[in-house]
Structure 1
């Protein structure tokens, strides 16, 4: 015959087992919390803005070309510049060269042309005229092309003159037309250069800049071009 424990003894045994189990779990939780170092929250990443000289860049001029935002950045004096594509969150920024030659950028320093690929001209006053540089969008960044251009008549623009679906650089300049090279009288011409620096031609030499087509916003067509004067500096 099997002897059974009294009911009270069974209940007491179950209660004690439950208390011991819960106590072990609580102890494990407490010791586990003490054994782990507190995990600090992840730091908030703050992007440092690109500097223009010793200052934070500010937007000096902006436009949209081929659906892409293009901004000219500079310091407060305009003597340290950057060209940015894609807006404030973009990292696609290139440094301008002409500011190193003493050119100060202003609100009229950015000119862009919509073409098969975006092309932008960054320009500014220098030595009584205007100097500028050309940037072409290639791949996913800007690339400076050609030399620094200079117009002693202060006219430097982008325009598709010869109909290649890409703009050329139009530079209004003074030149000598005297065959003996004495330069007794200067003439005004509008020179058209392709983006690789080759000459597409010049307008006929005029007695004064005001006689150039469309002056002061010089506009030249393909039929206006002829051979450039011999006295015109190839640069």
Structure 2
């Protein structure tokens, strides 16, 4: 006949088992709490601020802003400026494009605005980046041929405050047209002087000038100057 264990031994064994189980459960709870505290949830992680549609190649000083955009010959073009609009870039082909061209007119004291960009399609498409500077309206031209765009070295100046692209010569590319005051260099104020339009090819060569007009509004086709090439003459 089997001997029964004393009741005191059974009670002691049960208590030991209960204490062990309680310890294991407490350790598991503390570990779970520790993991929840040390591992942040996704809602607590803040991503760096970004500006939609600009990207890393946008400008020199954040926040970047797209001042103007247009499509020329099927190519999307954006003018992007930094926080003060005193430096910028022309991005060709949209946010995912790698072709970014620095503006040079900002180095001449020009501040970019939403009206600084004009593009005209052609066998050689062109974009004009312009703005007001210390000497008057100043601009640069970026020319695109076969999806390759290049900034031209020459800067264009309009003393009368009007600088545009338009097709003047009977070819398939636009020209640069700058309105100028017919004003002696020594004269302090030229605001009431006659004006004329000066026409340049995309490579920077001077093509000719119109006759003088009493007011800038009288220039043919103002404000998008349209001058028949047959009416051009030697410039003053």
TM-score normalised by structure 2 residue count:
0.69
Residues 73 and 82 of structure 1 are in contact (CA less than 8 Å); yes or no, is this contact kept in structure 2? Answer: yes
Deviations 1:189-234 (A, max 9, x none): 10111112222111102233233223344322223312212xxxxx
Judging changes above 3 Å, is the alpha-carbon distance between structure 1 residues 66 and 210 closer, same or farther for their aligned structure 2 residues? closer
Residue 160 of structure 2 is aligned to residue 137 of structure 1: no
More strand by percentage: 1
Shift of 1:187: 2.9
Residue 230 of structure 2 is aligned to residue 223 of structure 1: yes
User: Counterparts of 2:149 and 2:186 in 1: how far apart (Å)?
Assistant: 43
Gaps of 5+ in 1: 1-47, 230-235
| Matched residues, number | 180
Aligned to 1:30: none
Residue 189 of structure 2 is aligned to residue 167 of structure 1: no
SS in 2 for 1:55: coil
Judging changes above 3 Å, is the alpha-carbon distance between structure 1 residues 210 and 118 closer, same or farther for their aligned structure 2 residues? closer
User: Counterparts of 2:150 and 2:176 in 1: how far apart (Å)?
Assistant: 16
Judging changes above 3 Å, is the alpha-carbon distance between structure 1 residues 217 and 86 closer, same or farther for their aligned structure 2 residues? closer
User: Counterparts of 1:98 and 1:196 in 2: how far apart (Å)?
Assistant: 17
Q: CA RMSD in A?
A: 2.4
Aligned to 1:201: 208
Deviations 1:100-148 (A, max 9, x none): 1110111101100110132110111113731100001245442111411
User: Counterparts of 2:124 and 2:196 in 1: how far apart (Å)?
Assistant: 28
Residue 104 of structure 2 is aligned to residue 62 of structure 1: no
Shift of 1:51: 4.5
Aligned to 1:71: 78
User: Counterparts of 1:137 and 1:66 in 2: how far apart (Å)?
Assistant: 10
Judging changes above 3 Å, is the alpha-carbon distance between structure 1 residues 182 and 53 closer, same or farther for their aligned structure 2 residues? closer
TM-score normalised by structure 1 residue count:
0.69
Shift of 1:88: 0.8
Residues 105 and 123 of structure 1 are in contact (CA less than 8 Å); yes or no, is this contact kept in structure 2? Answer: yes
